[in-house]
């Protein structure tokens, strides 16, 4: 992306980011204030609901005291103690009618019973609510409850004290009743005229029916939670979590919402509460939790009630305000962004024109600099560019003439030096052939060295000229079959390969965009290098291609080269690896320059039984 375009986009982007950040801060502050108001409203509702639950639970305590002091029950106890059957039967019938009447007036009571202390705690009078029908239980269906904890604990209480059970699931014959029915039992001991314990009167309350009616849970947008003193759920929006402790499951308020831990921990009996923001499901919700102390005689037996609601449910008006504010901010933001874009475009227009002028210079077209008369940075830049282009054009002609002279000189020097070297080599060879018998051993050896040095000089001049031509190559990249290039190079060395019985393997090769003539020269030098430096007459020559980090890596491996070569110096100019080589040591230097011209890399891996030359041909056209 062009800098001018970036600058035109930068200005509105800065406006946008700044406005968004300011808007976020404002909305955050507003939401924080609104949340505080929402929590106060939530707390007010929760306190009212908690008050209704507490009053209902206190009412059952008042009812049990009323029954314990009931004259008809006193008459029943007296008649039982004095063994007056008629009076006892009358008092029993009248007490049973009172129990039935109490069930009719208290829709959440499920049982009212009078249990005797004797006879294994047998029920003496009992009224039940079952399926909405209230009945007086006959003698043959009365049960013995002496084994139940609430019977033992109540009979131990002094006069005027009451027993309050934990809220648990109702059991019949020691088995949890299905469907589950959470029950709270409140009982009071009964005494005869002599102060002896006679039995107890007990009320069973359907706790779930009570709270669902009082809190209108089924028709509410709020989520209600009630937990006992240990934090175990008695009421939860997910009924699967209710009374988990009865089945050995760990499901507690403080575990799901750690913010309520302070309400569960033992502490001051004064009412304490907490409020916080949480998540219920995927919705952001507000929660308010507080303790309830519904039991007169035992403040350590408290309940914890929590009320939660999605923040959008209890704050629709505030959301409307936020929506309107955001809409107005969006409109202003669009206007500001457009103005910033227009202003930035006006400022960057000179940069766009200067860029166009620079592109014209690149394509060797006449370029104009319309802002060179300005006194700002664009004027200074325009004048500098114009002066630089004039200087470059003045030096270009001189440089081209120098390059032409150097190329001509290179050709002359190469020819003038190569031809004498060839003649010296030829003369040395001729003398060795014609006068071999007349020459001494030392003379023949000297002529041999003369011929070898002449050939070395010829090879050096040839390699140096090839090395120099690489920098001025004007070939174009094109899609090339690498395997075809390798086969063409090998064909030039076919006689030597066959004579030396060299094993050649060529793996599958890709088609890549390269300078074909340079790639042929690359493989020519690699093959020649392998043939020259092989320790053995016969060896294996392998051409492979692998994928590394998403690019093709070519390898030329041979088992015949000298493994003592230094991999760090192998591609340096004039490095031959030995002192008796008749080469200039430029072959692998030329390979490195060819690879670098393709924006690739070349390296060697030398092992005891193999020398591998690896290279890549990646990058943009150089």
Kindly state the average pLDDT of the residues 2-8.
63
- The yes-or-no verdict on residue 533 having pLDDT over 80 is no
- pLDDT confidence band for 72 (50 / 70 / 90): very high
- The yes-or-no verdict on residue 242 having pLDDT over 70 is yes
**What pLDDT, in 10s, does the model give residues 14-36?**
777 777 777 777 777 766 776 77
What integer best gives the mean pLDDT of the chain? 81
Q: Which residue has the higher pLDDT, 279 or 207?
A: 207
**What pLDDT, in 10s, does the model give residues 396-407?**
777 777 766 666
Contacts of 218 (CB under 8 A, 6+ apart): 212
Buried-exposed string 88-119: b where 16+ CB fall within 10 A, e elsewhere: beebbeebbebbbebbeebebbbbbbbbbbee
pLDDT of residue 318: 57
- pLDDT confidence band for 4 (50 / 70 / 90): low
- pLDDT confidence band for 620 (50 / 70 / 90): very low
pLDDT of residue 268: 55
User: Does an H or E element contain 481, and which?
Assistant: strand 478-481
- For residues 473 and 438, the answer to whether their CB atoms sit within 8 Å is no
- The yes-or-no verdict on residue 502 having pLDDT over 80 is yes
Helix axes 587-597, 441-470, angle to 10 degrees: 10
In the chain, the percentage of residues whose pLDDT exceeds 90 is 29
Residue 458 neighbours by CB distance under 10 Å: 19
- For residues 95 and 114, the answer to whether their CB atoms sit within 8 Å is yes
* C-alpha–C-alpha distance, residues 518 and 515, integer Å: 5
Residue 391 neighbours by CB distance under 10 Å: 10
**Which ranges in the chain are annotated with CATH 3.30.450.20?**
69-211
Kindly state the average pLDDT of the residues 571-590.
61
- pLDDT confidence band for 339 (50 / 70 / 90): confident
pLDDT of residue 404: 66
- pLDDT confidence band for 579 (50 / 70 / 90): very low
* C-alpha–C-alpha distance, residues 87 and 82, integer Å: 10
- Give CA angle at 232 (230, 237), nearest 5°: 145
**Which ranges in the chain are annotated with CATH 3.30.565.10?**
475-616
- Give CA angle at 279 (277, 281), nearest 5°: 160
Kindly state the average pLDDT of the residues 331-352.
74
Strand partners, 481: 511
- The yes-or-no verdict on residue 509 having pLDDT over 50 is yes
Kindly state the average pLDDT of the residues 326-354.
74
pLDDT of residue 153: 93
Highest mean pLDDT among 101-105, 519-523, 581-585: 101-105
Fold that domain 475-616 belongs to in CATH: Heat Shock Protein 90 (3.30.565)
pLDDT of residue 562: 61
CATH class of 69-211: alpha beta
- The yes-or-no verdict on residue 622 having pLDDT over 50 is no
Residue 49: closest CA among 315, 308, 314? 308
- The yes-or-no verdict on residue 351 having pLDDT over 80 is no
In the chain, the percentage of residues whose pLDDT exceeds 70 is 78
């Amino acid at each position: 992306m062009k800098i001018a375009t970036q600058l035109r986009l930068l200005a509105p982007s800065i406006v946008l980011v700044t406005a968004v950040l300011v808007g976020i801060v404002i909305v955050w502050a507003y939401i924080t204030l609104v949340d505080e108001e929402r929590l106060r409203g939530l707390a007010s509702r929760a306190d009212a609901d908690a008050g209704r639950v507490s009053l209902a639970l206190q009412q059952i305590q008042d009812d049990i005291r009323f029954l314990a002091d009931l004259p008809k029950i006193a008459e029943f106890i007296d008649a039982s103690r004095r063994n007056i059957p008629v009076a006892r039967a009358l008092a029993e019938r009248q007490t049973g009618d009172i129990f039935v009447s109490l069930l009719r007036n208290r829709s959440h009571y499920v049982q009212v019973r009078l249990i005797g202390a004797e006879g294994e705690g047998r029920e003496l009078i009992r009224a039940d609510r079952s399926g909405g029908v209230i009945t007086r239980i006959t003698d043959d269906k009365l049960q013995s409850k002496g084994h139940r904890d609430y019977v033992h604990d109540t009979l131990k209480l002094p006069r005027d004290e009451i027993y309050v059970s934990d809220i648990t699931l109702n059991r019949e014959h020691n088995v949890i009743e299905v469907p589950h029915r959470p029950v709270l039992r409140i009982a009071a001991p009964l005494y005869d005229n002599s102060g002896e314990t006679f039995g107890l009167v007990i009320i069973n309350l359907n706790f779930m029916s009570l709270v669902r009616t009082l809190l209108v849970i089924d028709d509410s947008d709020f989520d209600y939670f009630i937990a006992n003193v240990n934090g175990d759920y008695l009421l939860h929006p997910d009924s699967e979590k209710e009374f988990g402790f009865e089945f050995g499951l760990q499901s507690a308020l403080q575990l799901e919402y750690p913010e309520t831990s302070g309400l569960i921990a033992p502490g001051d009996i004064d009412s304490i509460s907490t409020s916080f923001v949480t998540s219920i499901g995927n919705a952001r919700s507000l929660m308010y939790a507080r303790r309830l102390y519904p039991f007169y005689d035992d403040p350590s037996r408290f309940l914890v009630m929590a009320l939660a609601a999605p923040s959008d449910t209890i704050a629709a008006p505030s959301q409307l305000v936020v929506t309107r504010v955001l809409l107005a901010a969006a409109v202003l933001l669009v206007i500001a962004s457009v103005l910033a874009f227009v202003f930035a475009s006006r400022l960057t227009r000179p940069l766009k024109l200067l860029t166009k002028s620079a592109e014209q210079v690149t394509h060797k077209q006449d370029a104009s600099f319309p802002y060179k008369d300005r006194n700002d940075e664009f004027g200074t830049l325009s004048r500098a560019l114009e002066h630089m282009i004039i200087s470059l054009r003045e030096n270009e002609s001189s440089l081209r003439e120098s390059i032409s002279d150097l190329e001509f000189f290179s050709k002359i020097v190469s020819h003038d030096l190569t031809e004498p070297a060839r003649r010296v080599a030829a003369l040395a060879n001729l003398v060795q052939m014609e006068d071999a018998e007349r020459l001494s051993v030392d003379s023949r050896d000297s002529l041999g060295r003369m011929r070898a040095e002449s050939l070395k000089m010829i090879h050096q001049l040839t390699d140096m000229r090839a090395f120099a031509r690489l920098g001025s190559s004007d070939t174009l990249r094109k899609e090339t079959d690498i395997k075809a290039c390798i086969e063409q190079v090998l064909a030039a060395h076919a006689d030597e390969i066959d004579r030396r019985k060299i094993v050649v393997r060529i793996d599958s090769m890709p088609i890549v965009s390269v300078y074909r003539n340079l790639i042929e020269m690359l493989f020519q030098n690699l093959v020649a290098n392998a043939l020259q430096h092989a320790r053995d007459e016969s060896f294996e020559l392998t051409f492979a291609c692998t994928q590394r980090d998403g690019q093709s890596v070519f390898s030329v491996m041979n088992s015949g080269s000298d493994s003592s070569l230094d991999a760090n110096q192998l591609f340096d100019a004039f490095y031959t690896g030995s002192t008796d080589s008749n080469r200039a040591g430029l072959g692998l230097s030329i390979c490195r320059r060819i690879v670098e011209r393709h924006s690739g890399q070349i390296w060697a891996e030398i092992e005891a039984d193999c020398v591998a030359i690896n290279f890549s041909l990646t990058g943009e056209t150089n």
